[in-house]
Amino acid sequence: MDWWLPRRWTVGLMLCLLVVGIPIALFGIPVDSAAPEPVPFEDTRAIGVASAEEVAADDTAAIPRVQVFYSQYQYVIGYYGLSTALAAIDEPTTRQQYGHPLVTYVTDYSNTAPSVGDDSRLDTEQVPAWTAASDAVFVVDSGAQTPAGAAIVPFSDRDEATAFAEQTGGRVVSWATLGEQSFETDDGAVVRDRVAAQRADADSWVAERTELLDRQRSVTVGPDDDLQAAIDDAPNGTTVALAPGQYPGPIEIDHPITLRGPGATIAGDGEGSVISVTADRVAIQGLTITGVGNQSRNPDAVAGDRWDANIELGYGHGDAAIAATGANDTLVADVTVPDTPANGVLLRRSPGGVVTNLSVAGPEDWRDGFMGVIAMYSPTVIQHSAVTDGRDGVYLHRSDGTIIRNNTFRENRYGVHLMYSSGVLVADNRMAGQSYGGITVMTDPTRNAIVGNLVHNTSTGISTSGSNSYLAHNGVTDSRIGITTTAINSLYEHNVVRHNEQGMRTGSVVATSEVTANDFISNDRHAGASAGPLRVWRGNHWEGALTTPSGRTADRAYMPTDPVDGQRHRSTTRRTVAASPVYQGLRELTGASPGLRSGSILDPGPVETPQNPDLVETTATLHTDGLAGVPAAPSER
C-alpha cells in the first residue's frame, strides 16, 4: 500500500486547487462585466427543429429563435422556437449540464411588418434583429406555424405587438408570463408512441401489395418460349407464369402484370440489370436471378455542387437483379439472387414498394459488390430478407417512412445504412460480422426508430445522428463500440450493450437526449463522451456501479467516464480508491459545478440489477454463440 500516500496527497492538492477555482467556474464571467452581445445564429449550437432541411435558405425570418448564454457552457445555445427554449431553460437537467442562463436573446419582429400567410407561415419584409427576452413582449395564438410548432412571436415594441395580435387574433403576454406556462416539445418519446402505428401501417402496406399475386393467369411460359414476347403480350392486371427451368435475360416489364415462377431462373448475360421494371404495380415472385452486370455506379456521373445528387447519379444507376425506375407499388417476393457483383434490388423514384423474403449474396469481399437493396426516393417495406457479403445490406437515400424489419444481414460493410431518410423504422433485424457498422444513420435525419435489433461482432453496432429519434430494446455485443450517437432530442431506453470495447459513446455537444433503463454489462468501458457539457443519464444499470453502496443517494451516483468509477467492474483496486474519503470529497466537489465535468456522463440514480432480463439473456447467448444461438429473424430461409 506504499503507492497510496503519494496519490492521496496528489488528490488532496487537486482538491485544494479546485476549491480556489470555484467562483470562476460557477459564474463563468465576472458579475460586474457587461452582458455578452448576441451572435449570428449560425454560430450557435442550434436545436429545436427536427432537421436543418426543415429550414429553407430563404426562411431566416419564418421561425422565431432564441439564443442563450449559459454560465458553465462555452458555446451559445440556439433554439428554433420559443416553446423549445422555454421547455429547456428551466429544466433542472439543463441547469446541471450548462449552468444558469446569463442572458437570453430573442428575434425581434418589430419593424419587420410580420404577417401570417394562408399556409400559416410567418412572413416578414425584413430579417429580425435581436433583443433581450426580458425587454420583449410576445404574441401567442396568432395561428402562425413553424417546423418547431406554433409560433410565439417576440416584439421589442408593445404597440407593434398589439397591432400584430389584433391582425391575427392573438394576444400579447410578457416573458414572465411565458415562463409560468409549460411546453411540450417533439422528441424521441413522440417517435416511440408512433412505432405501433408504423408496424400496423407496414402490415397494411404489405397486404395491399400482396394482392398483386392474386391476378388471373393469362399465359404459362416454358423455357423454350419467348419470355419477353409473352410479357409484352400479357394484358394489364394478369399473371405470366413460368414453368421450372432457365430463361434468358435481360427482360423489361413496362405494364402492370405479375411474373411468377417458382423453380424458374432468369439468367442475365452479365451486362446491365436482369429485370427492368418501368411500370406501376408490377409483382415479381418466386424467381432465381443470375447473370447481373458488374456496374455498381454510373460511370458518366460527374461531380457537382450537391453531394447527394451525385450519389443518386452514381449509386442509383447501377446494375441490379431487379431494377425498378419510376415504378410505384412494386412487389418483389420470394426471389433469390445467389451471386451479384452489383445490386440485388434497386428502387429509384419508385415509392410504395414491398421487398419480402429476398435472398441476396454478393462477392466474398464486399468491396467487389454493392447493395442488397437500394432505395432512392422510394419509401419501401423491406422484410423477411437476408443479405450476405454486400457493401450494404439495405441502403436508403431520401426514402422517408421506409420500414426495415425482420431481416438478417451477415458480413456486409453496413447492415442498414440511412442517408437523408427520416421517419424510418428499423425493427427486429439480426446482423453479425459487418465490417463498419450494423445500423448506421447519417446526414442528420429526424424521427427514426431503431427497435428490437440484435447486432453482434461489428465495428460500431448502432450509430445515429440527427434528432428526435428513438432507440429501444436493441442488443449489441462484441463490437468496438456498441452504440454511438451525435443525435439530439432523442430517447434511448431498454437497450442492452455487453462485451463491447465501449458500450455507448455520445459525441453531441448539446446534451438534450434521454438515456434511461439501459443495461451496461461486461464492457471494457461502459460509456464515453466527447468534449461538451455533463450528460445526465438516469436510471441505467451499470455493472459494478453499486459494489460499495453507502445507502445515500449522492453516493450512489455513477460516472462511467470517470477513470476510477468507470473501471470498478474490472478492478478491485478501483473499488478501493472509489471508497476512499479523498476521492469521495473530490467527487462531491466536481459534482457541484458542471464546468468541472466537461465531457463526462453522470447517472445520479443507477439501478442495481438489470432491467431487461429477457434481452440480457439473449445477448449472453449472442455473445457466446453468435446469431446461431438466438432465434433467427424470419428472413432466414
Residue 608 phi, psi dihedral angles, 5° rounding: -70, -35
Mean pLDDT score, 230-250: 97
So what's the pLDDT on residue 180? Answer: 81
Q: Judge whether 536 and 530 are in contact, CB under 8 Å.
A: no
Mean pLDDT score, 115-123: 89
Percentage of the chain surpassing pLDDT 90? 60
pLDDT at 549 > cutoff 50? no
Place of cell 452504440: 483
pLDDT at 485 > cutoff 80? yes
43 alpha carbon, distance to own chain's centre? 24
So what's the pLDDT on residue 302? Answer: 59
Strands 331-333 and 353-356: parallel
Under DSSP, is residue 10 helix (H, G, I), strand (E, B) or coil? helix
So what's the pLDDT on residue 587? Answer: 55
Cis preceding-peptide flag for 250 (omega within 30 of 0): yes
So what's the pLDDT on residue 570? Answer: 65
Place of cell 426580458: 134
Residue 529 or residue 259, greater confidence:
259
Residue 342 or residue 95, greater confidence:
342
pLDDT at 64 > cutoff 70? yes
So what's the pLDDT on residue 497? Answer: 98
Question: In this predicted model, what pLDDT tens digit does every residue of 147-198 receive, in sequence order?
Answer: 767 899 999 999 999 999 999 999 999 998 988 877 666 678 889 999 999 9
C-alpha distance from residue 488 to each of 248, 510, 561 (Å):
51, 7, 20
Q: Is 204 exposed, middle or buried (0-12, 13-18, 19+ CB in 10 A)?
A: exposed
pLDDT at 2 > cutoff 50? no
Measured N-to-C along each axis, helices 581-591 and 4-20 cross at an angle, to the nearest 10 degrees, of 20
Mean pLDDT score, 222-235: 97
pLDDT at 17 > cutoff 60? no
pLDDT at 4 > cutoff 70? no
Cβ neighbours of residue 8 under 8 Å, at least 6 residues apart?
A: 580, 582
Residue 1 or residue 175, greater confidence:
175
Q: Which of 27-31, 76-80, 421-425, 597-601 has the lowest mean pLDDT?
A: 27-31
So what's the pLDDT on residue 635? Answer: 44
Q: How many Å apart are CA 28 and CA 560, to the nearest integer?
A: 26
Strand partners, 274: none
Residue 500 or residue 97, greater confidence:
500
Mean pLDDT score, 97-112: 90
Question: In this predicted model, what pLDDT tens digit does every residue of 128-138 receive, in sequence order?
Answer: 999 999 999 99
So what's the pLDDT on residue 26? Answer: 28
Strands 171-174 and 137-140: antiparallel
So what's the pLDDT on residue 555? Answer: 47
pLDDT at 358 > cutoff 60? yes
Residue 482 or residue 565, greater confidence:
482
Mean pLDDT score, 306-321: 80
The architecture of the domain spanning 216-399 is 3 Solenoid (2.160)
So what's the pLDDT on residue 576? Answer: 56
So what's the pLDDT on residue 209? Answer: 98
Mean pLDDT of the chain: 85
Residue type, 201: D
Q: Judge whether 590 and 19 are in contact, CB under 8 Å.
A: no
Among residues 249, 293, 246, the alpha carbon closest in space to that of 265 is found at 246
Q: Judge whether 265 and 288 are in contact, CB under 8 Å.
A: yes
pLDDT at 598 > cutoff 70? no
So what's the pLDDT on residue 10? Answer: 35
Question: In this predicted model, what pLDDT tens digit does every residue of 503-529 receive, in sequence order?
Answer: 999 987 677 889 999 999 999 999 999
**Residue 5 pLDDT level (bands cut at 50, 70, 90):** very low
Residue 290 or residue 465, greater confidence:
290
So what's the pLDDT on residue 398? Answer: 93
**Numbered ranges of CATH 2.160.20.10 in the chain:** 216-399
Number of neighbours of residue 45 by Cβ within 10 angstroms: 17
**Residue 313 pLDDT level (bands cut at 50, 70, 90):** confident
**Residue 468 pLDDT level (bands cut at 50, 70, 90):** confident
Question: In this predicted model, what pLDDT tens digit does every residue of 318-349 receive, in sequence order?
Answer: 999 999 999 999 999 999 999 999 999 999 99
